Amino acid sequence: MRDPRREAIASFVPAAASSLLTVALSVSVLLSASAFRLSSPMIEGMPSISLSFYVDGTAAFFMLIIGLVSASVSIYSLGYAGSYSGKHSIKVLGSMLNLFVLSMVLVTATNNAFSFLLFWELMSLVSFILVVYEHEKEANLRSGITYLIMTHIGTALITAAFLVLYFQTGSLSFDSFRSAAGHLAPFTKDLVFVLALVGFGTKAGLVPMHIWLPRAHPSAPSNVSALMSGVMLKVGIYGLVRVTLDFVAPSTPADAWLGLLMVVAGSSSALVGVLYASVEHDIKRALAYHSVENIGIIVLGLGLSVVFMSFGLESLAALALLASMYHSLNHAVFKGLLFMGAGSVLMRTGTADMNQMGGLVKKMPWTSLFFLIGSIAIAGLPPLNGFISEWLTMQALLSSSQVPNVVLQLSIGFASIAFALTLGLASATFVKLFGISFLSRPRSKAAEDATEAPRSMLAGMTIAGSLCVVLGALPFVATSTIASAFGFDMGLVSTYAPFGPLTVGYAAGGLKSASSLSMPTVVLLVGSVGAALLGFVAVAGFGRKTTTRRYTTWEGGFGALDERTEYTATSLSQPIRTVFKSFFRPRTEVDRKYHSDSNKLTKRSVTVTTETREIFEDQLYSPATRAVVAVLDRVRRIQTGKINSYLLYVMIATILLLALVVFQP
């Protein structure tokens, strides 16, 4: 099979089919509300190490996310692989992508810490290979290494968390972890939780462990970015949910600080992510930073749920969990869609720099429509899906007044400030992302010559785009799924439902303080207002038929405008950069060249370079890296390269071991 087209079909059609099978499995588990169990025979003498799968509601819900997004990405990949034909091996891309999806499904399905780590590692390594797929670019290798190191720090911490649980229970099976949940000593519980939060948080991209995301996502092929951002981060969330709800199982007010830790981590991730996204001009890096933001919102909801759980506020805990899981599903769908859209643009223009794009709404009408849908959804604007989960998160934040602890109330209050700022900045950022890339006039030759993406790519985006619309207009589809997945009654959350099952409602203290939202009704109202307005305009035209003349944009009488007079991504975000300058620490260098040094009035050229600093890299990672390198430099001295000194080490080691055996207490 040398034909790249056939290679692509052979790789991605089975991937799509198996993704749909995953969806089928998870739907069957969710509908029957009974878990699916599959165990391999025990390995003789090693009872801990066996393959056992257990798909309960939680796993099935995350499998649903994996399946839905993977299916649309696989279809999209059919066309996208074409951009690599002749340059890179499509066989490698296809097989690795299949393996990647498989490993994620296995991670969610497994019921044993050992096999969990095994599949987790497989997922990390395969995604690393995919990140460095375009290996001829040195930048990609660098980001691959960052990713590899960060993901292994995470894996180490997860392993530590499981080992602590193993020492407590004597088994590696998740079943025994689950049954031990109530009896863990408080300190052990906290230790497991913190290890898991940092470990899984590294994979999910929580601040300050997020630094790999803005490097790895832009380096990877766009279909892989869509999978990594849409799905793999959710697998990190899955791990966090599994450990928090099943193994740690917060139940006493003493556990509330665990939730608070998540609230703090989540809200700061959301804010930091969106701030960096707002000044980014590389479309894929901006989307990667937005993943940090959305993971923050998800973890914020999860943390609120843990806080409410600790105080026994059952229905509020269900509400917050619903918000968090709804946002997981939404983020998977719209971030997958946005990365696919960015991939189409990348494929057709050859650049990810927004300052080189523009005018694509006319060249790529469908891609731009899907990107717009994704933008509205991620900005949390009605009537699409992002609004629903953000509405639920806001309701959970507003309910914080019921937590019987002032410190917690205030902290959650501050988290809502961060959340509010995040929402405001997110919609501003997506004005920039969509407006600069797709609207206005082309800023480069490549953008001018762009053509619409192939049909298979549009088909993949259609799936994700229509999911955005469906999950927005019919939220009860998702809420009932999540309720059955996490085993709570929707009646707990929807205590106030004046429009029947169409409403997502919540009444805290009786009907007097009810909040409810019925998206189908809202959509209907928007439609009827639109129709009424159309009718009004038709009637109120005062009998005068108006015409529309097309003309170029008014240029002030200076002659035709060209693309150099347009706003760019960098200039558009300049006010935001200035307002938040204490955070970005923008550095602007102006380099003036003169025709002659004696005359500073006539300049030959003026070059302005602006850059913003990454405080986490500057203040945290660079010093840490330098310290590690310094220590290793010291250690390296023992590596002399002389055989006799190595023999000396062997002898010292032997003597120490012997001493250990002899003096063993």
Q: At closest approach, how far in Å is the CB of 204 from other proteins?
A: 25
Among 302, 360, 347, CA closest to 326: 302
> Are 610 and 588 in contact, with CB atoms under 8 Å apart?
yes
Element (H, E) at 517: strand 514-517
Q: At closest approach, how far in Å is the CB of 297 from other proteins?
A: 14
At 170 the three-state DSSP class reads coil
Q: At closest approach, how far in Å is the CB of 530 from other proteins?
A: 5
Q: At closest approach, how far in Å is the CB of 330 from other proteins?
A: 15
Instruction: CB nearer to other proteins: give 547 or 596.
Output: 547
Instruction: CB nearer to other proteins: give 150 or 322.
Output: 322
Q: At closest approach, how far in Å is the CB of 263 from other proteins?
A: 15
> CA 270, CA 265: separation in Å to the nearest integer?
9
Q: At closest approach, how far in Å is the CB of 429 from other proteins?
A: 8
Instruction: CB nearer to other proteins: give 37 or 445.
Output: 445
Identify the burial level of 180 via C-beta atoms within 10 angstroms of its C-beta, where 0-12 means exposed, 13-18 middle and 19 or more buried. middle
Is the backbone peptide bond immediately before 186 cis, with ω within 30 degrees of 0? Answer: no
Q: Residues 6 or more apart from 42 whose CB is under 8 A from it?
A: 50
> Are 377 and 331 in contact, with CB atoms under 8 Å apart?
no
Q: At closest approach, how far in Å is the CB of 526 from other proteins?
A: 5
Instruction: CB nearer to other proteins: give 82 or 442.
Output: 442
How far, in Å, are 63, 69, 453 from residue 35 at the CA level?
A: 13, 23, 41
Instruction: CB nearer to other proteins: give 544 or 634.
Output: 544
Half-sphere exposure of 160 (CA within 13 A, CB side): 19
Instruction: CB nearer to other proteins: give 549 or 636.
Output: 549
Element (H, E) at 55: strand 52-55
Q: What does DSSP say about strands 587-596 and 52-55: parallel, antiparallel, or unpaired?
A: unpaired
Q: Residues for the chain: how many in total?
A: 665
> CA 456, CA 260: separation in Å to the nearest integer?
45
Q: At closest approach, how far in Å is the CB of 78 from other proteins?
A: 28
Q: At closest approach, how far in Å is the CB of 521 from other proteins?
A: 4
> Are 245 and 192 in contact, with CB atoms under 8 Å apart?
no
Instruction: CB nearer to other proteins: give 144 or 382.
Output: 382
Q: At closest approach, how far in Å is the CB of 398 from other proteins?
A: 6
Q: Dump the DSSP string for 574-614.
A: HHHHHHTHHHH--EEEEEEEEEETTEEEEEEEEEEEEE---
| CA triple 217-613-224, angle to 5 deg | 0
Element (H, E) at 507: strand 504-507
First to last CA, the chain: 66
Instruction: CB nearer to other proteins: give 91 or 585.
Output: 585
Round the CA-based radius of gyration of the chain to a whole number and report it.
Answer: 27
> CA 338, CA 331: separation in Å to the nearest integer?
10
Instruction: CB nearer to other proteins: give 536 or 649.
Output: 536
Instruction: CB nearer to other proteins: give 312 or 530.
Output: 530
> CA 11, CA 140: separation in Å to the nearest integer?
24
Q: At closest approach, how far in Å is the CB of 438 from other proteins?
A: 8
Q: At closest approach, how far in Å is the CB of 483 from other proteins?
A: 21
Instruction: CB nearer to other proteins: give 156 or 502.
Output: 502
> CA 647, CA 269: separation in Å to the nearest integer?
51
> CA 171, CA 113: separation in Å to the nearest integer?
9
Instruction: CB nearer to other proteins: give 228 or 478.
Output: 478
At 127 the three-state DSSP class reads helix
